[in-house]
Amino acid sequence: MLDGLTLAVGEREAVGIIGPNGAGKTTALNVMAGQLRPDRGTVSFAGGDVTSMPAHARCRGGIARTHQIPHPFEAMTVFENVLVGATYGGGLAEHDAYGACFAALEESGLADKVNVRAGVLTLLERKRLELARALATRPRVLLLDEIAGGLSEPEVQALITVVRRIREQGLAIVWIEHIVHALRSTVDRLVAIDAGRTLIDGAPDAVMASSVVQRVYLGID
């Protein structure tokens, strides 16, 4: 549930969203991606109102997302999975789709796994595949839903490297994550929310030093 939440993301900006379980983080991402329609308020993208636009149309318009739990087509190869993203998600023609797929696989660190069946991938590789499928749609903004969740610390560091590399391509990023140090080392701003409302929005260090955030999110009085 969201309650008057307002979030603005600039071009090429990376914004992290934190909050306790049930704060409305994934709901906010679903509203941005078009998987949920708000009963009031609007969603704007690239200067236009996309509130009534369905998820597939938003994807083809430049909004891509990953999911917290990867669900690849396990019987298909890594390349075939990414090709689905490029063609059906991004609406790219065959020639453009192949180029987008190879670029996405390179950016996500899966270039050596193109012919591997997705069902045998490790968790980190599945997370990379989630990224590759989203990137193959050629988005302008990338929505990440706890993509570091469940990974070991070395794997988290590897994923941070990938996200930083993606940022260099000029994408705007909205990243929901409980692994706060991953956000602090990557994003420009942190937004802390609770009960669907914004608690504080600002520089990562300032947000984490806030007494409100420490009480609500970290349980520190």
Q: How far is CA 158 from CA 85, 151, 182, in A?
A: 23, 10, 10
Q: What is the pTM assigned to this prediction? A: 0.94
CATH number, domain of 162, equals 3.40.50.300
Place of tokens 């988290």: 156
Q: Give the model confidence (pLDDT) of 112-136 as tens digits.
A: 999 999 999 999 999 999 999 999 9
Q: Quick check: is 81 in a domain?
A: no
Q: Quick check: is 20 in a domain?
A: yes
Q: What is the pLDDT of residue 1?
A: 77
Do 15 and 28 touch, CB atoms closer than 8 A? Answer: no
Q: Give the model confidence (pLDDT) of 6-43 as tens digits.
A: 999 999 999 999 999 999 999 999 999 999 999 999 99
Per the structure, the complete domain to which residue 173 belongs is given by 14-70+135-216
Q: What is the pLDDT of residue 205?
A: 94
Q: How many CB atoms lie within 10 A of CB 210?
A: 17
Q: Quick check: is 129 in a domain?
A: no
- Give me the number of domains the chain comprises: 1
Do 192 and 18 touch, CB atoms closer than 8 A? Answer: yes
Q: Is the pLDDT of residue 195 over 70?
A: yes
Q: Quick check: is 176 in a domain?
A: yes
Rounded Cα distance between 198 and 191, Å, is 7
Q: What is the pLDDT of residue 221?
A: 66
Q: Quick check: is 120 in a domain?
A: no
54 exposure class (CB count in 10 Å sphere: 0-12, 13-18, 19+): exposed
Q: Quick check: is 201 in a domain?
A: yes
pLDDT, mean of residues 192-205: 94
Q: What is the pLDDT of residue 82?
A: 98
Do 68 and 84 touch, CB atoms closer than 8 A? Answer: no
End-to-end CA distance of the chain: 26
Which two structure tokens, joined as six digits, stand for 72?
């690849």
Q: Quick check: is 79 in a domain?
A: no
Q: Give the model confidence (pLDDT) of 78-116 as tens digits.
A: 999 999 999 999 999 988 999 999 999 999 999 999 999
Q: Which residues contact 194 (CB under 8 A, 6 or more apart)?
A: 19, 20, 23, 216, 217
Q: How far is CA 69 from CA 135, 145, 178, in A?
A: 17, 9, 14
Q: Quick check: is 76 in a domain?
A: no
Q: Give the model confidence (pLDDT) of 146-172 as tens digits.
A: 999 999 999 999 999 999 999 988 899
